[in-house]
Amino acid sequence: MARPGATCPPPARRVMVAARALLFWALVYSYCGVCACIAGLRLLWSIGRRPGETFRWVVRENPPACLNDPSLGTHCYVRIKDSGLRFHYVAAGERGKPLMLLLHGFPEFWYSWRHQLREFKSEYRVVALDLRGYGETDAPSHKESYKLDCLIADIKDILESLGYNKCVLIGHDWGGMIAWLVAICYPEMVTKLIVVNFPHPSVFTEYILRHPSQLIKSGYYFFFQMPWFPEFMFTLNDFKVLKSLFTSQATGIGRKGCRLTAEDIEAYLYVFSQPGALTGPINHYRTIFSCLPLQHHEVIMPTLLLWGERDAFMEVEMAEITRIYVKNHFRLTILSEASHWLQQDQPDIVNKLIWTFLKEETKRKRE
C-alpha cells in the first residue's frame, strides 16, 4: 500500500495527465460546438428576416482619409530577419526619443491608438504596430505561425529592428495579452508596462475555469477554434457584427465618452473587408489552448493596469487579482462608465493617467 502523501508512480501520473488533457479538450470542443450552434441559429434567423441582405459584403477599395492623416505619424514598414515577415506600423515623434510601442487588440489595428499617437509624440517615439496577420502586416497562412511564442518573438525582433533595446510597452485586449508575455519573457526590454482591459494571463486562465459567467463572455475564444466559419459570420450583412462591436449599446464605444465617427467606422471596414483579412486575426486565437497556462508568471517592472468597468468581455474582478503577479509598483485604475475599448472611449482620461504613471515612475527612479 502506498504511503499517505507518496507521489504517484510514473505510469499512474501519465494516465492522470492524459485524462485531464482529454477532459480539457473535450470541454473546449464541446463549448466550441455550442457556440457554433448559436451562430448557426443566428445565421438562419438573419436569412429568414433579410435573405437578400444577409450575404451582402462590400469590399472597400479606397482607404478613408483618416488613415492617412499626417498628424497621426508616418506609415513605415520593417522586415524581420528570422521570420521574413514584413510588419506595418505608424510612427510619430522624433527618432532617438524613448520608444513607446503600442499593441492593439481584436478586431482592431494600429488606428485604435490614434489618440495616443498624437498625445505622446512630444516626448516619445510612438510606434503603433499592426500585429502579425493584421492590416498591412504579412499574414502567414498556417495557424501554427500564430502561436504565442511567435507573437512574443515578433515584438522582440521589431524592437531590435527599430534600433532600440527597451521600450515603454502598452497593450490593449489581445495586445495586452502579448504585452504581459513580453514583459514576463523579456523583462530587460520593458522599462514600464501599461495594459488596458486585459488581466495577467495566469489570472485569466484560472478565473475563466472557475467562473461560468466569464466563460460565457469569452465564448468567442471557443467559437474561433472552428475553420472558416467565424470569418464567414463576420462578413454577414456587410460586417454587421464588426459594426455592432464598436457601436452597440451592449458592447460599443461612447456611453459617456467619445463615439466613433462614420469615417472611423469606415477605417475598420476598409481594413477588415479585404479578402482574407479576418483569417490572420482569428488565427491568433486558434492556438491559444495549446499555449496556456504559463510556466513563468512574475512581472518585475512598474505596471499600470487600466480597466473600463463596463467591459462586456472581461469581468472587472480579474483586474484586482492581477496585483499578486506584479513584483514591483502596481497601479490599477478602474474607470466607471467606460467600455472595453477604453483608449478610444475615454482617450483624454486614459492619456492623463498614462502621463501621471510615466512621470511618477521617473520621479521615483530619481529618488
Q: Which residues are catalytic?
A: 173, 285, 340
| Closest C-alpha among 159, 155, 167, 164 to residue 131 | 155
| Closest C-alpha among 42, 197, 182, 30 to residue 108 | 197
Q: What order of strands is seen across the sheet that includes strand 303-308?
A: 74-79, 86-92, 125-129, 99-103, 167-172, 190-196, 303-308, 330-335
End-to-end CA distance of the chain: 62
Alpha helix stretches (DSSP H) within 162-211: 174-185, 201-210
Decide if 130 contacts 109 (C-beta within 8 A): yes
| Closest C-alpha among 40, 55, 52, 36 to residue 240 | 55
Output phi, psi for 147, to 5 deg: -65, 155
Three cell numbers, residue 68: 492617412
